[in-house]
């Protein structure tokens, strides 16, 4: 009898989660790295936001800043560093969409563009990231990597809004 009650409770509880759009906010840390003879144990801290439709993650983005003082800055090529110096404000964005008909990568980038952020593709940084142990462990091969760069001073945070989800600010 206890098993039946427990099973019914589980079924009722699990059914109550359907039909909801959820946004989950977490912190993510990329731990350590190297470039040539330089090895570091520092962490690249990023904000991770995941959008769920019912129980399915439909969009995921990790955003953080890679400053010149960060050892991860060594992963940028010379030309990538030149591009970054033009930015008044920049974010490293690692983003994924499992259902482009629900939330697309283009929609995310379009919102950033409308707020004054241009997308830079990072070939050298991405190559270094692909060799990091956490790359495969976190399935980042499914994600795109870019810098979102604003060349003017913006006073407001980057906001991401998708219909029927709460607004997120970075």
Average pLDDT over residues 53-61: 96
Average pLDDT over the chain, rounded to whole?
Answer: 91
A 10 A CB-CB count for 90 gives 21
The full set of domain ranges for the chain reads 20-169
Share of the chain above pLDDT 90, in %: 84
Single pTM value for the model: 0.85
Dihedral-angle region of residue 32 (phi above 0 means left; psi in -120 to 50 means alpha; beta otherwise): left
Q: How many CB atoms lie within 10 A of CB 68?
A: 9
For the cut 90, the answer to whether the pLDDT of residue 77 exceeds it is yes
């Amino acid at each position: 009898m206890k098993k039946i009650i427990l099973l019914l409770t589980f079924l009722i509880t699990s059914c109550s989660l359907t039909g909801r759009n959820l946004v989950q906010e977490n912190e993510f840390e990329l731990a350590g790295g190297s470039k040539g003879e330089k090895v570091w144990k520092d962490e690249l801290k990023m904000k991770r936001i995941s959008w769920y439709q019912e129980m399915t993650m439909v969009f995921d983005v990790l955003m953080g800043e890679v400053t010149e003082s960060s050892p991860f800055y060594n992963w940028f090529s010379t030309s990538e560093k030149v591009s970054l110096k033009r930015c008044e404000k920049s974010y490293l964005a690692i983003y994924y969409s499992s259902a482009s008909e629900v939330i697309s990568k283009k929609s995310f980038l379009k919102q950033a563009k409308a707020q004054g952020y241009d997308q830079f593709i990072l070939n050298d940084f991405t190559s270094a990231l692909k060799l990091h142990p956490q790359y495969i462990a976190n399935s980042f091969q499914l994600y795109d990597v870019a810098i979102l760069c604003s060349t003017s001073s913006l006073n407001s945070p980057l906001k991401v809004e998708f219909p029927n989800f709460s607004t997120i600010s970075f």
